[in-house]
Amino acid sequence: MLVLRRKVGESIVLAGVINISVLAVEGERVKIGISAPPDVTIVREELLRVAETKQADQNTPVQPRQ
């Protein structure tokens, strides 16, 4: 994992087409902005975990009650 420090107003560019900018720091929270082409999907990690959990639940066979 690459770890970088950025100040408000500074950016990181990924693959020459995705720009991640630090917009504000408010206490322990950092507000970021992401500019990317329309074909790039951007999803918060916690939403991916919820979707994975739901998918796993749907694939788990329901045990019959005895």
Instruction: Please compute the mean of the pLDDT values over residues 31-46 and round it to a whole number.
Output: 94
Q: Where residue 53 falls among pLDDT bands split at 50, 70, 90?
A: confident
**14, 36, 39, 51, 57 from 7: Cα distances, Å:** 17, 21, 28, 33, 41
Q: Where residue 49 falls among pLDDT bands split at 50, 70, 90?
A: confident
For the chain, percent of residues with pLDDT exceeding 70: 88
- How many whole angstroms separate alpha carbon 30 and alpha carbon 43? 17
Domain region containing 29: 11-59
pLDDT tens digits, 11-35: 999 999 999 999 999 999 999 999 9
* Domain membership flag for residue 4: no
* Domain membership flag for residue 29: yes
* Domain membership flag for residue 3: no
- Give the total number of structural domains in the chain: 1
* Domain membership flag for residue 66: no
* Domain membership flag for residue 22: yes
* Domain membership flag for residue 64: no
